[in-house]
């Protein structure tokens, strides 16, 4: 049962030939463009990792209608998102807001980068290291010659 | 009987893997060549046994033996032969079997082609590789046995998931696994180097072809998966930032970093600690990907399995290998002193920059993939991390890497001169800038990011090839041709691979200029795209071997002349209720007209039609990168094995 449900979900995910039906669209092209832009940033809550713009699920259809209603009612993009977050929670946003809770998510890549920069500065700064690998088996002369030959193939 | 032979082969492979894991390692520790000599036949035997098991499962599929549970669940007698064949790996058990098959294939390749590898290094490497295959063979035998029988045997199977019934599936997983699993041998080399305490430029030289082989497979596999999603899923996207896609992208990113840092290690004996760490991390990310996909932690199109026992088992394997390797690294790492020194503005420096940003980009993908899982597990809060997040974090981190590529290629080792290179790259900058200006003028500058992206892509393509021009003309135009012919293939391959990146950037940037038409069309209605008229001719019902379909007929007119007919459709497969989409595409130059149909109302059909200029470059780019990788593998330095005399001497020395 679980398997077949899963299979159904898989197929559902992949059969969304036409997410946005022609009849759903707004007459005003500028408003419709805004609706499309917003739809791409909102999650279809019952789908796997899909925006409501891509999804054919009924819920996505309802959300698309809701987004268009709010736009026609005069909401700004931020207000539409706020409205949906109040109703459905932050889960609905495909791009999580920047908050204390999500700080790690947004900042960790930068932390990795900074750490890398600091580490690589030490790489350039470390000008005096003549010490060979202590504790490792030392190379025999033949092996050293082999390495020299391998690393300088043209000499 | 064939099925039982396969099952028995797996058990025997486990025993052989256990032996190969222990004996050569003991041999290396004691300096006993006879014990080390077990490694080669052990690795070959494992591969032979896995090949036998795989052949047995394939025979059960092709012969539609539904007494095997796995075949019953994923095959059907009406399925065309190719899908009965590729169905072998279109499910959890079969794909894990393929995983281990490729794992042992790499071990066998080291045994066969590793003549230039020192005896001890090869023995310990194959020991580590065997320990990985032993762990996964245990996983197969205890949680995911593809040879389980059903009694009574059903008369008919349940058929392969229709989404997977596509030629793309026949090639995508094997190629992807060559990359994904190929990094296992690099991991084994790294662990062996740590165990033996020998980490030097010679190691990097030995390992680089293996990194390259895995990277070529992974690059091609990801590109193929992307193209498959593009035409199969029906709305023309090529990358969805799905956790499963991310699972393959992460090893690709760190593998690409590894490919570059290993150059520094090979040529300059520097960045040793980092290269070894990357080798460990890359395969760790492959294992993590396997865990994410196979455990069912993420439920998505690729997650065939959702069984907690499997998840826990893979998690154990994951912790054991990553933890073990990192502990070994921590113990031995400090003993690895750095090698040659270099200035920040140098070839080495540019490769360090490449590594920094690729690692940060990889971290962004890793965090974006795991953060929602961790947050939900810890606090119960659910958040979504989707494409807009990755576009905002991943893309800016990739920008410096792409921008620096043409510079890095021309920088000298040790100490480079950025100014002279900048002046040499003048042509590339000019061509890229003019392209951006021209696009901005013709599109009225609507999408700034896309315009910059196009300019950048063109700059990279021209700049990468410019390196070859500079090298060929170094001593005048007279002997440029012979100089070009004399360039090492690795140099030519690097230029071509970088050009591939540029082509991909162009293709991705051009997606901003896609045209879209959504309409409910009645027969005789038309839409216009790229100056072509696309006329709907009506829809009809069609019955295929194992599906029923609605097929729409569109005629494409250029002026008054008909240039093509397109037949997008929807299929409903036997035994399934939900339909799948069959898109229709017309290639014009490097762009495509793309048609998909949706619901019908009376004689009207919902149609989504696109004109996607330059879209093929998105996949041509990675294809060029893969081919360049293959070219690099044929370089003289890799083709010519060291003289045999040396090897015999080494054996004698070890035996004494």
B240-265 tens-digit pLDDT: 898 889 999 999 999 999 999 999 99
Which pLDDT belongs to residue B651? 45
Q: Which residue of A has its CA nearest to B232?
A: A14
Q: What is the mean pLDDT of residues A51-72?
A: 87
List, in order, residues 6 or more apart from A10 with CB less than 8 Å away.
B161, B163, B300, B301
Average pLDDT, chain B: 89
Q: What is the mean pLDDT of residues B472-497?
A: 87
Residue B198 has pLDDT above 50, yes or no: yes
Shortest CA distance to B288 belongs to which of B210, B391, B362?
Answer: B362
Shortest CA distance to B549 belongs to which of B567, B531, B533?
Answer: B567
Cα–Cα dist B159/B64, whole Å: 11
Determine, for residues A139 and B200 on separate chains, whether the beta-carbon distance falls below 8 Å: yes
Q: Sorting pLDDT into bands at 50, 70 and 90, what band is B299?
A: low
Q: Which residues are paired to B612 by β-bridges?
A: B592
Shortest CA distance to B183 belongs to which of B54, B97, B287, B305?
Answer: B287
Q: Sorting pLDDT into bands at 50, 70 and 90, what band is B309?
A: confident
Which pLDDT belongs to residue B646? 44
Interface confidence, given as ipTM, is 0.81
Same domain for A116 and A64: no
**Three-class SS of residue B403?**
helix
Same domain for A23 and A51: yes
- For the stretch B14-28, what's the b/e string if a residue is b when 16 or more beta carbons lie within 10 angstroms of its beta carbon? bebbbbbbbbbbebb
Domain total in chain A: 2
Q: Please indicate whether residue B365 or residue A143 has the higher confidence score (pLDDT).
A: B365
Q: Which residues are paired to A43 by β-bridges?
A: A51
Q: Please indicate whether residue B191 or residue B114 has the higher confidence score (pLDDT).
A: B191
Which pLDDT belongs to residue B650? 46
Calculate how close chain A gets to B582, using CA atoms only, in Å.
Answer: 8
Question: Which of A10, A18, A41 is closest, CB to CB, to B608?
Answer: A18
CATH code of the domain covering residue A51: 1.10.8.640
Contact assessment for residue B144 and residue B92, using Cβ atoms and an 8 Å cutoff: yes
Q: What are phi and psi of B548, to 5 degrees?
A: -115, 145
Chain B residues lying within 8 Å of A106, measured CB to CB: 393
Q: Say how far residue B37 (Cα) sits from the centre of its chain.
A: 33
Shortest CA distance to B480 belongs to which of B489, B488, B469, B490?
Answer: B469
Same domain for A33 and A11: yes
Domain's final residue, options A70, A92, A114: A92
Residue A135 has pLDDT above 50, yes or no: no
Highest average pLDDT, of A50-64, B296-310, B329-343, comes from: A50-64
Reading the block at residue A148, the tokens are: 């020299």
List, in order, residues 6 or more apart from B96 with CB less than 8 Å away.
B136, B139, B140, B144, B146, B294
Q: What is the mean pLDDT of residues B399-428?
A: 88
Residue A131 lies in a domain: no
Determine, for residues B578 and A51 on separate chains, whether the beta-carbon distance falls below 8 Å: no
Same domain for A23 and A6: yes
Residue B654 has pLDDT above 60, yes or no: no
Cα–Cα dist B17/B616, whole Å: 44
Cα–Cα dist B441/B439, whole Å: 5
Which pLDDT belongs to residue B236? 76
B349 reaches A (C-beta below 8 A): yes
Contact assessment for residue B270 and residue B264, using Cβ atoms and an 8 Å cutoff: yes
Which pLDDT belongs to residue A137? 62
Give the lowest-confidence range in B29-33, B308-312, B514-518: B308-312
Any idea which residue has 């294939």 for tokens?
B105
Same domain for A81 and A28: yes
Q: What is the mean pLDDT of residues B216-241?
A: 88
B positions 250-269 inside 8 Å of A (CB): 266-267, 269
Same domain for A28 and A86: yes
Cα–Cα dist A144/B173, whole Å: 42
Q: What is the mean pLDDT of residues A83-112?
A: 90
Residue pLDDT, tens place only, A26-48: 888 888 889 998 998 999 887 77
Q: Sorting pLDDT into bands at 50, 70 and 90, what band is B598?
A: confident
Contact assessment for residue B543 and residue B631, using Cβ atoms and an 8 Å cutoff: no
Residue A56 lies in a domain: yes
A positions 57-86 inside 8 Å of B (CB): none
Q: Sorting pLDDT into bands at 50, 70 and 90, what band is B304?
A: very low
Residue to test with chain A: of B598, B610, B649, most A Cβ within 10 A: B598
Cα–Cα dist B50/B9, whole Å: 7
Residue A72 lies in a domain: yes
Q: Which residue of B has its CA nearest to A111?
A: B360
Q: Which residues are paired to B584 by β-bridges?
A: B595
Give the lowest-confidence range in B179-188, B201-210, B530-539, B642-651: B642-651
Which pLDDT belongs to residue A121? 80
Cα–Cα dist B193/B201, whole Å: 12
**Three-class SS of residue B635?**
coil
Percent of chain B's residues with pLDDT above 90: 58
Q: Sorting pLDDT into bands at 50, 70 and 90, what band is B486?
A: confident
Rg of chain B (C-alpha set): 27
Give the CA distances from residue B59 to residues B21, B66, B152, in Å, rounded to whole numbers and listed in that order. Answer: 30, 12, 20
Shortest CA distance to A37 belongs to which of A78, A73, A96, A82?
Answer: A78
- The domain in which residue A105 lies consists of 97-124
Same domain for A110 and A57: no
Cα atoms in the 13 Å half-sphere on the side-chain side of B102: 21
CB atoms within 10 A of CB A80: 21
Q: Which residue of B has its CA nearest to A98?
A: B389
Cα atoms in the 13 Å half-sphere on the side-chain side of A22: 18
Q: Sorting pLDDT into bands at 50, 70 and 90, what band is B303?
A: very low
Cα–Cα dist B245/B489, whole Å: 32
Chain B residues lying within 8 Å of A151, measured CB to CB: 201-202, 205, 266-267, 269
Same domain for A80 and A57: yes
The single-letter DSSP state of residue B79 is: S
CB atoms within 10 A of CB B532: 19
Residue A154 has pLDDT above 70, yes or no: no
Contact assessment for residue B126 and residue B43, using Cβ atoms and an 8 Å cutoff: yes
Which pLDDT belongs to residue A9? 40
Q: Sorting pLDDT into bands at 50, 70 and 90, what band is B306?
A: low
B520 reaches A (C-beta below 8 A): yes
Contact assessment for residue A90 and residue A41, using Cβ atoms and an 8 Å cutoff: no
Q: What is the DSSP string of B315-327?
A: HHHHHHHHHHHHH
Give the lowest-confidence range in A79-83, B367-371, B645-649: B645-649
Q: What is the mean pLDDT of residues B622-637?
A: 91
Cα–Cα dist B86/B66, whole Å: 16
Residue B649 has pLDDT above 50, yes or no: no
Question: Which of B359, B388, B518 is closest, CB to CB, to A95?
Answer: B388
B338 reaches A (C-beta below 8 A): yes
Any idea which residue has 């070959």 for tokens?
B44
Q: What angle do CA B148, B150, B156 make, to 5 degrees?
A: 120
**Three-class SS of A51-94:** ECCCCCCHHHHHHHHHHHHHHHCCCCHHHHHHHHHHHHCHHHEC
Residue A152 lies in a domain: no
Give the CA distances from residue B251 to residues B184, B285, B628, B631, in Å, rounded to whole numbers and listed in that order. Answer: 11, 5, 19, 22
Cα–Cα dist B476/B474, whole Å: 6
Chain B residues lying within 8 Å of A91, measured CB to CB: 382-384
Which pLDDT belongs to residue B114? 87
Cα–Cα dist A82/A84, whole Å: 5
Task: Say what the alpha-carbon torsion angle B431, B437, B438, B440 is, to the nearest 10 degrees.
Answer: 140
Which pLDDT belongs to residue B647? 45
Give the lowest-confidence range in B135-139, B278-282, B377-381: B377-381
Percent of chain B's residues with pLDDT above 70: 94
Same domain for A72 and A28: yes
Same domain for A57 and A31: yes
Residue pLDDT, tens place only, B508-555: 999 989 898 988 999 999 999 988 999 999 999 898 888 888 999 999
Give the CA distances from residue A133 to residues A90, A122, A148, B124, in Å, rounded to whole numbers and listed in that order. Answer: 52, 19, 17, 20
CB atoms within 10 A of CB B433: 13
Cα–Cα dist B294/B308, whole Å: 10
Residue A146 lies in a domain: no
Chain B residues lying within 8 Å of A77, measured CB to CB: none
Which pLDDT belongs to residue A3? 40
Helices (H), B151-300: 167-196, 201-232, 243-268, 272-295
Residue B641 has pLDDT above 60, yes or no: no
Q: Sorting pLDDT into bands at 50, 70 and 90, what band is A138?
A: low
Which pLDDT belongs to residue B433? 93
Q: Which residue of B has its CA nearest to A54?
A: B235
> What pTM was estimated for this model as a whole?
0.89
Residue B639 has pLDDT above 90, yes or no: no
Residue A62 lies in a domain: yes
Q: Which residues are paired to B571 by β-bridges?
A: B549, B580
Give the CA distances from residue B257 to residues B252, B333, B354, in Å, rounded to whole numbers and listed in that order. Answer: 9, 19, 7
Residue B642 has pLDDT above 50, yes or no: no
Same domain for A85 and A102: no
A positions 90-119 inside 8 Å of B (CB): 90-96, 101-102, 104-106, 108-110, 112-113, 116-117
Same domain for A79 and A36: yes
Q: Please indicate whether residue B505 or residue A127 has the higher confidence score (pLDDT).
A: B505
Residue B61 has pLDDT above 80, yes or no: yes
Residue A112 lies in a domain: yes
Residue A145 lies in a domain: no
Give the lowest-confidence range in A79-83, B161-165, B435-439: B161-165
Reading the block at residue B304, the tokens are: 């065939």
Residue to test with chain B: of A49, A60, A99, A135, most B Cβ within 10 A: A49
Q: What angle do CA B256, B261, B262 make, to 5 degrees?
A: 95
Contact assessment for residue B239 and residue B245, using Cβ atoms and an 8 Å cutoff: yes
Which pLDDT belongs to residue B555? 95
């Amino acid at each position: 049962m679980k398997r077949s449900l899963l299979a159904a979900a898989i197929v559902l995910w992949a059969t969304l030939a036409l997410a946005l039906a022609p009849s759903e669209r707004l007459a005003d092209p500028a408003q419709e463009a805004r609706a499309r832009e917003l739809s791409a940033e909102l999650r279809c809550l019952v789908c796997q990792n899909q925006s409501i713009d891509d999804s054919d699920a009924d819920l996505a259809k309802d959300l698309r209608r809701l987004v268009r209603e709010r736009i026609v009612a005069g909401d700004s993009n931020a207000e539409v998102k706020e409205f949906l977050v109040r109703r459905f929670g932050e889960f609905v946003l495909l791009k999580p807001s920047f908050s204390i809770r999500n700080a790690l998510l947004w900042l960790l890549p930068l932390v990795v980068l900074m750490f890398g920069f600091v580490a690589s500065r030490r790489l350039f700064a470390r000008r005096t290291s003549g010490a060979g690998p202590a504790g490792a088996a030392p190379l025999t002369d033949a092996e050293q010659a082999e390495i020299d030959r391998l690393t300088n193939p043209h000499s | 009987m064939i099925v039982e032979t396969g099952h028995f082969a797996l058990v025997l492979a486990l025993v052989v893997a256990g032996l190969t894991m222990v004996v050569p390692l003991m041999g290396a520790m004691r300096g006993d060549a006879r014990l080390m000599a077990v490694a080669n036949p052990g690795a070959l035997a494992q591969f032979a046994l896995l090949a036998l098991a795989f052949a047995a499962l394939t025979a059960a599929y092709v012969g539609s033996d539904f007494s095997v549970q796995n075949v019953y669940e994923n095959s059907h007698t009406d399925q065309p032969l190719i899908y009965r064949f590729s169905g072998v790996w279109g499910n959890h058990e079969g794909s894990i079997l393929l995983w281990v098959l490729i794992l042992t294939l790499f071990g066998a390749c080291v045994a066969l082609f590793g003549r230039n590898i020192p005896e001890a290094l090869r023995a310990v490497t194959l020991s580590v590789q065997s320990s990985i295959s032993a762990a996964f063979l245990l996983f197969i035998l205890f949680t995911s046995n593809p040879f389980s029988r059903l009694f009574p045997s059903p008369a008919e199977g349940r058929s392969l998931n229709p989404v997977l019934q596509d030629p793309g599936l026949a090639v995508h997983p094997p190629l992807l696994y060559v990359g994904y699993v190929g990094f296992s041998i690099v991991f084994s080399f790294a662990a062996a180097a740590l165990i033996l305490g020998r980490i030097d430029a010679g190691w990097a030289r030995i390992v680089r072809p293996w990194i390259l082989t895995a990277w070529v497979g992974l690059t091609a596999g990801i590109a193929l998966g992307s193209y498959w999603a593009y035409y199969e899923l029906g709305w023309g996207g090529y990358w969805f930032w799905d956790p499963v896609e991310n699972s393959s992208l992460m090893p690709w990113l760190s593998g690409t970093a590894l490919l570059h840092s290993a150059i520094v290690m090979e040529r300059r004996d520097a960045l040793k600690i980092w290269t070894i760490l990357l080798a460990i991390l890359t395969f760790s990310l492959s294992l993590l990907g396997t865990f994410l996909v196979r455990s069912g932690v993420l439920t998505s199109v690729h997650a065939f399995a959702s069984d907690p026992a499997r998840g826990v088992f893979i998690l154990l394997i994951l912790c054991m290998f990553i933890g073990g390797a990192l502990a070994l690294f921590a113990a031995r790492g400090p003993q690895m002193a750095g090698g040659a020194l270099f200035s920040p503005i140098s070839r080495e420096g540019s490769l360090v920059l490449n590594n920094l940003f690729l690692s940060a980009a990889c971290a962004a993908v890793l965090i974006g993939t795991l953060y929602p899982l961790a947050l939900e597990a810890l606090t119960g809060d659910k958040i979504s991390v989707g494409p807009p997040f990755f576009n905002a974090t991943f893309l800016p981190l990739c920008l410096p890497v792409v921008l620096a590529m043409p510079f890095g290629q021309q920088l000298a080792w040790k100490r480079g001169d950025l100014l002279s290179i900048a002046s040499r790259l003048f042509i590339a900058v000019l061509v890229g800038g003019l392209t951006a200006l021209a696009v901005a003028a013709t599109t009225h500058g609507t999408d700034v990011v896309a315009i910059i992206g196009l300019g950048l892509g063109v700059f990279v393509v021209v700049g990468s090839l410019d390196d070859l021009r500079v090298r060929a003309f170094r001593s005048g135009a007279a002997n440029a041709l012979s100089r070009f012919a004399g360039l090492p293939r690795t140099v030519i391959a690097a230029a071509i691979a970088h050009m591939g990146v540029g082509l991909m950037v162009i293709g991705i940037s051009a997606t901003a200029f896609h045209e879209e038409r959504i309409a409910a069309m009645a027969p005789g209605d038309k839409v216009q795209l790229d100056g072509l008229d696309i006329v709907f001719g009506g829809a009809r019902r069609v019955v295929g071997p194992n599906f029923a379909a609605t097929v729409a007929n569109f005629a494409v007119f250029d002026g008054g002349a008909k240039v093509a007919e397109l037949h997008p459709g929807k299929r409903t497969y036997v035994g399934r209720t939900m339909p799948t989409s069959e898109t229709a595409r017309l290639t014009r130059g490097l762009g495509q007209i793309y048609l998909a149909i949706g619901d019908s109302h009376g004689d009207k059909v919902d149609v989504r039609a696109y004109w996607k200029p330059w879209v093929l470059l998105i996949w041509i780019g990675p294809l060029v990168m893969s081919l360049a990788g293959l070219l690099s593998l044929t370089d003289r330095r890799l083709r010519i094995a060291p003289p045999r005399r040396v090897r015999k001497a080494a054996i004698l020395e070890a035996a004494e």
